[in-house]
A and B are shown apart, each in its own frame.
Chain A
Amino acid sequence: MILINSLDFGYSKHKVFENLNLTFDEGKIYGLLGLNGAGKSTLLYLMGGLLFADNGKVEFNGFDMRERNPRALADLFFVPEEFELPDVKFETYIKLHAPFYPNFSRETLDRCLSGFGMDTSCRLNRLSMGQKKKAFMCFALAANTGLLIMDEPTNGLDIPSKSQFRQVVSSCMTDERTIIISTHQVRDVENLIDHITIINDKQIVFNRSVADITDRLVFTDARFGQRPEGAIYAQPSSVGEQVVMPRGGEQETPLNIELLFNAVLAEREKVATIFA
């Protein structure tokens, strides 16, 4: 479990977080959303021990991440948005890095690589960006760490690979594992994540499970001039408007993350009232 208590953090004069409190539990896949510059990557770096909070604490399984304890790091894997892989064969990379992760599973690695249509015979620096990402993510999933952090994991993946990504990640999910995905490509992870956290203006402005969201909100389309009464938020679409409204007796509708995100930022008070 990740526990963030009274977190303050800033770069020089620019404050990013003020008195942030947040918890990430086991057995869930979290989607971390926010505008450009909101601090998504910064929060991930703080959780990974790559940045130190000005005040407050970031704890993972009881370890203060500022200490970069090796036992904590052995149960954590970070897949950044940008990374470089060394000029070695993938098999060599596995031999060098797998021993650091006590729960590393070769079987899981082979299964994930098979899901992406890859194998370990390749030389890492000769892969395309998308292929490198797939290889690195397969290693990350095979490490079987309690916490897996991914920053924009679907960037650079081709269309079939995005679907493969969802399948591979779902197949590796367990009740003891926490996966945190920070992304702007919400449609790539729409059917994958089961908890949504939105950062804005130095704070967490929304933090709910998908089940809770779809239980209280409906996402529907309406023609121009026919916006339902009680709609919290509406945005133009090809057929008229996409609308978010409180769920009364209506049937549950699939979650539209993009619409939810815009609604939260535009009508924060109204959304908060529904979830109060």
Chain B
Amino acid sequence: MNDFFNLKRFLLVLRRELCLSTKPLIIGTALIVGLLVLNFAGLCKVFDVNYIGVNKRGTIDGLMVFLGLLTFVATIAVWVSSAQISHNLARKTNFLAFSTLPASTFERYLARVVVFGILPLVVWFALYFGVHLSDAVVDYTEMNDRYQGGFIALCACVILFSTVFAFWGAAFRRHGFIIGFCVAAFSIFALFRWILPNVSLMFLDPIGRFVQHDYFSYGRLRLVLAVALLIIGAINIGAGYFFYRRKQMIVKSVKRQ
């Protein structure tokens, strides 16, 4: 039996993680969606529906506002979840229970990446592509090149920064989410710049202008973006595993190890 990776053993770990960890994720998701649904009418009034974005008929309605906000909140939820790959192992009792489980470190780490990293991303993409079935939002195939580029940038940032949160969570435990959030914060403003083109965000405007630039319409740049995303994401996940392997019950500095 392979000590590094055994499929049967990995599936046992994955089953355990899914059974024990998905309940809080499902409850959190239901709460977020529920809050937005309950405040739907109020949100439509707060955000002037004639002011934000366009749909394929060239007009805005409340449903698009709701879906846009839902996407934004879901994006944050994906990043928070990615940070949980290592974050809640900072507690002594959780760390002990998980680290004495008879599985390899890689199998345990991969199971957490799947449950807290990949699964929320799949849900996010299902949600985001699912809403495009509605007439209320712009169909991707009908977007012009600049909007398609911006959409790709949005997806890339969601995936990329989920790996960033995974890495920082593994490297810095309790502070991992805060550090990862600071790293990802600028990207949020860039996304807003795309969604709200008429709103000035002062010193962050250059980031927004980069996202909106016409060179996102070039197919090759999208290919470069996709490859860079895969490489950087893989490095983040790999670096996260490197720190995860060296985790001990009590935090010790990496240098001492």
Closest to A149 in B: B100
Segment of B13-21, B118-126, B131-139 engaged in the interface with chain A? B13-21
Residues of A with C-beta under 8 A to B20: 86, 88, 96
Q: State which residues 1-42 of B face A: CB under 8 Å.
A: 1, 3, 6, 9, 12, 15-16, 19-20, 23
Residues of B with C-beta under 8 A to A84: 93-94, 97
Segment of A74-82, A167-175, A245-253, A258-266 engaged in the interface with chain B? A74-82
Residues of A with C-beta under 8 A to B104: 68-70
Q: Report B117 CB to chain A, min CB distance, Å.
A: 21
Cα–Cα distance between A24 and B43 once the two chains are bound (Å): 66
Q: Point out the residue from B1, B92, B257 that lies within 8 Å of A82, measured CB to CB.
A: B92
Cα–Cα distance between A97 and B102 once the two chains are bound (Å): 9
Given contacts A11-B250, A50-B95, A84-B94, contact A71 B100 (CB under 8 A): no
B248 within 8 A of A: yes
Q: Are A80 and B12 in contact (CB under 8 A)?
A: no
Q: Point out the residue from B1, B15, B248 that lies within 8 Å of A50, measured CB to CB.
A: B248
B148 within 8 A of A: no
Cα–Cα distance between A69 and B104 once the two chains are bound (Å): 6
A49 within 8 A of B: yes
Residues of B with C-beta under 8 A to A100: 9, 12, 101-103
Q: Report B248 CB to chain A, min CB distance, Å.
A: 5
Q: Are A74 and B102 in contact (CB under 8 A)?
A: yes
Q: Report A50 CB to chain B, min CB distance, Å.
A: 4
Mask of B207-229 contacts with A, CB within 8 angstroms, 1/0: 00000000000000000000000
We find that the number of chain B residues with CB closer than 8 angstroms to chain A is 31
Q: Report B196 CB to chain A, min CB distance, Å.
A: 42
A73 within 8 A of B: yes
Cα–Cα distance between A165 and B62 once the two chains are bound (Å): 64
Q: Are A99 and B23 in contact (CB under 8 A)?
A: no
Residues of B with C-beta under 8 A to A87: 23
A-B interface pairs (CB < 8 A), number: 72
Q: Report B165 CB to chain A, min CB distance, Å.
A: 24
Given contacts A51-B250, A92-B19, A96-B15, contact A69 B101 (CB under 8 A): no
A101 within 8 A of B: yes
Closest to B93 in A: A84
Q: Are A50 and B100 in contact (CB under 8 A)?
A: yes
Q: Are B99 and A68 in contact (CB under 8 A)?
A: yes
Q: Are A78 and B96 in contact (CB under 8 A)?
A: yes
B231 within 8 A of A: no
Q: Are B100 and A78 in contact (CB under 8 A)?
A: yes
Residues of B with C-beta under 8 A to A70: 3, 6, 9, 102-104, 107
Residues of A with C-beta under 8 A to B249: 45, 50-51
Q: Are A49 and B99 in contact (CB under 8 A)?
A: yes
Q: State which residues 94-141 of A face B: CB under 8 Å.
A: 96-97, 99-101
Q: Are B248 and A52 in contact (CB under 8 A)?
A: yes
Q: Report B203 CB to chain A, min CB distance, Å.
A: 40
Residues of A with C-beta under 8 A to B1: 71
Residue of A50, A69, A86 with most partner-chain B CB within 10 A: A50
Q: Please provide the 3 A-B residue pairs with the shortest distance between their CB atoms, ordered closest to farther.
A: A74-B102, A73-B102, A50-B249
Interface residues in chain B, defined as those with a beta carbon under 8 Å from any beta carbon in chain A: 1, 3, 6, 9, 12, 15-16, 19-20, 23, 92-97, 99-105, 107, 246, 248-250, 252, 256-257
Can you show 15 pairs from A to B with CB atoms below 8 A apart? A49-B99, A50-B99, A50-B100, A54-B256, A68-B99, A73-B100, A73-B102, A73-B103, A76-B100, A83-B96, A84-B93, A96-B16, A99-B12, A100-B12, A100-B102
